Amino acid sequence: MEVQRLKDGLKNNKIVIVTFLLWILVTESFFGNGSKEWDFAIAQPTVLLKVGNVTEDDKKVISLNKQELQQDIEINSMVFSGISLYMDTLNQQISGKLELELVDKENGRLIKKWTNNLGDLKIKGFYDFMLSKPIEVKEKMQYTLKIKAINESKVVPQLTLVSNDELFSSELRVNGEKNTRIVPYRILGNNSGVLIYFLYAMYAGMTLSLFIMCIMLLKKKRIELIFSVSVFVIGMIYLFVIPPFVVPDEPAHFINAYAQSSRLLGKEVVDDSGKVLVASDALWGQDKNVARRDVYIQFMKGALGKGTANSGDAIATIETSLQFNPGYIPQIIGISLARIFRMNSEQLLLLGRLFALLWYCFIMFWAIKFIPFGKAALFIIGMLPMTMQQVVSYSYDSVLFGVCFFCISFILYIAYRKEKIKWYDIVIVLLITVTISLIKLVYLPILGLAIMIPQIKFGGMRKKSIASVLVVATSIFTIVITKLSLFASWMSSFDISTAEVEGSTISLSFCIKHPQEISRLLWRTVERDGSRLVSEMLGSSLGWLDLNIPQILVIFMVIVILLSILRREGEEQYITTGIRLWGGTLTIVIIVAVMISLLLLWTLEGASLISGLQGRYFLPILPLLVILLRNNVIVTKKNIDKYLILSIGYINCMVIYFILLITVSR
């Protein structure tokens, strides 16, 4: 009896057991396999202040042969634990010693002296010189760095000098004479405690997401509600794990949204040269397109209200199109609210992204609610790591993905579930048409799914034709009004004198003259780059994080998606051969349209592959492709949707873990 009771208990609580096992795996990875990386990251100092921007165009070198350098620096109200100097000795065969002294400028007291072998400094970048214990300094404390080399080789050691932007009180003297340049340096601090809190917060979020999924599945909540809550919780983790400007092209997207926010609030939008103005350099500073330990710490502190206030002179950034784009509406609202309530830079960046996530949760709630079949498939695609990256960013993909997913869902709902089409259904389709046209018109063929809606639902062929003409006319009108400049540039490419210039991008004229070559280029790209694009689409390589997710996770994603295609035994099969052929045709048309657009925008004549093609460009049509693969051949006797939902939650947790594993050690 006890054995039977145990079996019954296990059977009724399988979902709890599976959740617990997945949580154990996440915990073991985080605190077991990742413990060495966390220990290393916590032991490393963080950058409190960086002075001097090293660029190849600006930098110069100075010989340390029989010369002594003294550089005055100023530190404002902080506890610092060391100083970094920029070294470029990677390929130099030098022997000798480098002596560095840190002296209190006010009383001449020696704070610390370092003596390093020049042969050990084989780096290109900042080298850390750490204090024995951190020093707490008062406001505007003046220190002097004394730098001298004792050379024992024929190669003369050199230091890199850069322009002095005079934002900080840094002055370099060479043998007592003032120099107009400075040695780039960084002030280091010890923020290990903050990093520990950050890591624990990320782990707590991962644990929370898994157990929220489990509880909602146990309570048999609607799948659309489970999705929205789960995506919000996991999305909040991604907001911090993928800091602002790490997503491709996010700086440009942010500037577009910020410009529209300025216009909405009646603020000055651009300067005299046409560059968009932002409130402070903290919103447009250096090194923002990276994810590393100090960026995480700064972003977390700022989100908690300890960041830099947006005050002072406005900063000119880049020129951009000021044309309205609905893909930025959520971000514009978030930015505007942050500016109204005078939030700091990190909070402003966070709030704009948060509103993008909230919009996605809202639109996907209705997308999953409306779709008549394949709810689990749409759930999984909507939570793929690449999808999550885009919907928590300033990219218009947060709106585009949601609208495209909703479009597929809503049309299938009308075609298979709704008895009669109302006027507001047409209005919804028109709004979808306008939105896609304004953001990325290459995805408009998705609306071609509406052809399979029976005419009886319109009240006859005449009304269906009127509705179809209305949708087509709306899309054409929107495209003509908003894309005139794009079409003008394409049409200008018909000029024979400029159509085939070596090193120029492929033009319409070139495509018309060389159809065979273009066809081969398209196929060659699919043949040789297809696996990379599919892997990227799922999330194998996220943003500019400079890391690749382990292939075992990518394989797991593919398996989960394929399992979501399976029909349950007795479930009605909606997809017929005719629908499959028509939907497949639309999918191919969109894929080719995406490739052609990149062909005309980025690809040079003579290229072997299409340039600029990324896997995320095909995410909007992935639900359609997956749904079309549903068939009568492979069915499952049991409903495995709840296990698939937990699986995609676990996959996201592991992706977050691997992102942290690499980036916090930088």
Summarised one tens digit per residue, pLDDT across range 37-73 is 888 777 777 777 788 777 777 778 888 777 888 988 8
Residue range 413-426: average pLDDT? 89
pLDDT over 70, % of the chain: 90
Handedness of CA 251, 256, 259, 264 (dihedral sign): negative
Q: pLDDT confidence of 394, banded at 50, 70, 90? A: very high
- For residues 661 and 35, what is the distance between their CA atoms, to the nearest angstrom? 9
**Residue partners of 583: CB distance under 8 A and separation at least 6:** 449, 624, 627, 628
- For residues 205 and 392, what is the distance between their CA atoms, to the nearest angstrom? 16
Read off the pLDDT of residues 524-539 as tens digits, 9 standing for 90 and up.
999 999 999 999 999 8
- For residues 76 and 461, what is the distance between their CA atoms, to the nearest angstrom? 75
- For residues 337 and 352, what is the distance between their CA atoms, to the nearest angstrom? 9
Query: In Å, what is the CA distance from 199 to each residue of 233, 656, 658, 659?
Result: 16, 11, 12, 12
Q: Is the pLDDT of residue 401 over 80?
A: yes
Query: In Å, what is the CA distance from 417 to each residue of 373, 465, 485, 496, 568?
Result: 10, 21, 41, 53, 19
Residue range 125-136: average pLDDT? 83
Read off the pLDDT of residues 137-153 as tens digits, 9 standing for 90 and up.
776 788 899 988 887 77
Q: Is the pLDDT of residue 377 over 70?
A: yes
Residue range 568-577: average pLDDT? 79
Q: Which of 300-310 are b and which e, b meaning 16 or more Cβ less than 10 Å from the residue's Cβ?
A: bbbbeeebbeb
Read off the pLDDT of residues 174-212 as tens digits, 9 standing for 90 and up.
888 888 888 888 888 776 667 888 899 999 999 999 999
Q: What is the pLDDT of residue 585?
A: 93
Q: What is the pLDDT of residue 131?
A: 86
pTM of this prediction? 0.85
* Phi and psi torsions of 657, nearest 5°: -60, -45
Q: What is the pLDDT of residue 454?
A: 86
Q: What is the pLDDT of residue 52?
A: 79
Name the 3-class secondary structure at 44. coil
Between 353 and 540, residue with greater pLDDT: 353
Residue range 421-440: average pLDDT? 89
Residue range 280-294: average pLDDT? 70
Q: What is the pLDDT of residue 167?
A: 58
Q: Dump the DSSP string for 158-205.
A: EEEEEE--SSS--EEEETTEEESEE--EEEEE--HHHHHHHHHHHHHH
